[in-house]
Amino acid sequence: MVKTEQTEAEKTESEFENSSMTVKHIDNPVVRNAPNRMRIKIVRIILADEYTAVVFTVDNTQGSYSYIAIDPETYITLNESDIAVERMIGTDGIGVSPQKTAIPKGKVTYFSLIFPPIDRDTRVLDLEESGENGWKFYGIQLK
């Protein structure tokens, strides 16, 4: 049997999963509006019984970043409503501000933001980092 190397997204996914969970993956979801000043991209949404994970890449192949961090007040809203707000409950591969995570120059780095589980009927997410300069991803399509 030939063993294949896991991608970073698969490694991140396996850290959260266990055999008792039901998991749905949305790879490379359509995002209606994303920050264009940064080379950060959502590459996967993981919907599990116990959590929701948003997996990102940050492209530092041009070497312009030295560190990355996320505001602890980052949240998602469901189905374009300000009512159903879920606050971030954890991270993987990124520091929660004021903690910073070094981003290797010349590399693409993966990280995940973890939220509480959401209803499987959710059609769209908005993800916002608190603050005027925070990341804002609107219209993340789940269906």
| Digit-coded pLDDT (tens) for 21-54 | 689 999 999 999 988 666 899 999 999 999 999 9
What is the pLDDT at residue 5? 41
How is residue 65 written in tokens?
């970043």
Q: What is the pLDDT of residues 64-119, one digit of tens each?
A: 778 889 999 999 999 878 776 899 999 999 999 999 999 889 999 999 999 999 99
In order of start, what are the domains of the chain with their CATH numbers? 8-141 (2.60.40)
Q: Which pTM value belongs to this model?
A: 0.82
pLDDT at residue 11 above 80?
no
Q: What is the pLDDT of residue 66?
A: 85
